[in-house]
Amino acid sequence: MLSKFIRICVLALLPVLAVAEDYQAGVNYAVLAQPIKSNTGVIVVNEFFGYSCPHCNAFEPSLHHWAEQQQSDLAFVPVPVVFGRSWEPYAKAYYMARQLGILDQTHSAMYNAVHIQKRRISTRAALQNFFAEQGVNEADFDKAYNSFDLKNKLRQGNRLAARAKITGVPTMLVNGKYVVNSTMAGGNEEMLQVVDFLVAKERAAADQ
């Protein structure tokens, strides 16, 4: 009876395994010619995003659920991109919220402000008003806005996006080696499946 149950489980997994085995470099994901090394000791998965991007907004609920399910050997690190001057205030909003310890509060609020309330948060004054709505006083806002940490995080994020050759969002980078976007993967949910496949690939390589 047990062996029959095992056979049924294996047969049920075959379609999933077959799909995973069909993921191909250059088709479902890209391989960076020059990998970006990390000294964290864990598998790092980055999401390159922008608060003003409607595709990132649509992707956020699925991505949030995916991130909550990950094991302790994986670090999920979002990176706001700056494709132009209008993108920079949104990138600053992310890093400032993280510095102020209120990212859990502001992350969804910023997406809602841009895509539900249809607000343009493209100036310092608009950004300060948004943070005031989140309970941040003027002194704390100014300190975060003018901080070296903010400038440094922006430089690091821009450098990582350039090295990973990010040209659109949302895009994910797995362990500094593999780049996945919805076009290559076939959709947002499929992108996460390809990422899972690549994470498993990195875990297997680490065990060898």
Question: Is 59 among the domain residues?
Answer: yes
Question: Is 8 among the domain residues?
Answer: no
* pLDDT per position as a tens digit, 50-94: 999 999 999 999 999 999 999 999 999 999 999 999 999 999 999
Question: Is 10 among the domain residues?
Answer: no
pLDDT of residue 20: 52
Backbone phi and psi for residue 123, each to the nearest 5 degrees, phi listed first: -130, 165
Question: Is 19 among the domain residues?
Answer: no
Angle between helices 138-145 and 88-100 (to 10 degrees): 120
Strand partners, 181: 171
Instruction: Give the count of domains, the chain.
Output: 1
Give yes or no for residue 18 having a pLDDT over 70: no
Confidence tier at 21 by pLDDT (50, 70, 90): low
| Residue 169, SS3 per DSSP | coil
* pLDDT per position as a tens digit, 157-207: 999 999 999 999 999 999 999 999 999 999 999 999 999 999 999 999 888
Question: Is 163 among the domain residues?
Answer: yes
Give yes or no for residue 24 having a pLDDT over 50: yes
Peptide bond into 54 cis (omega under 30): no
> CB-based contacts of 73: which residues, under 8 Å, 6+ apart?
42, 43, 203
Question: Is 1 among the domain residues?
Answer: no
- Minimum mean pLDDT range among 39-43, 96-100, 113-117: 39-43
Question: Can you give the residue range of the structural domain that contains 74?
Answer: 25-207
| Residue 57, SS3 per DSSP | helix
> CB-based contacts of 130: which residues, under 8 Å, 6+ apart?
93, 106, 109, 110, 113, 119, 121
Give yes or no for residue 3 having a pLDDT over 70: no
Alpha helices in the chain (DSSP H): 2-22, 54-68, 88-100, 103-115, 124-133, 138-145, 148-163, 182-185, 188-207
Q: Which CATH number is 75's domain given?
A: 3.40.30.10
* Stated pTM of the model: 0.88
pLDDT of residue 14: 40
pLDDT of residue 22: 80
Q: Name the burial class of residue 147, with classes exposed (0-12), middle (13-18) and buried (19+) by CB atoms within 10 angstroms of its CB.
A: middle
- Minimum mean pLDDT range among 38-42, 58-62, 109-113, 198-202: 38-42
Question: Is 65 among the domain residues?
Answer: yes
| Residue 187, SS3 per DSSP | coil
Question: Is 20 among the domain residues?
Answer: no
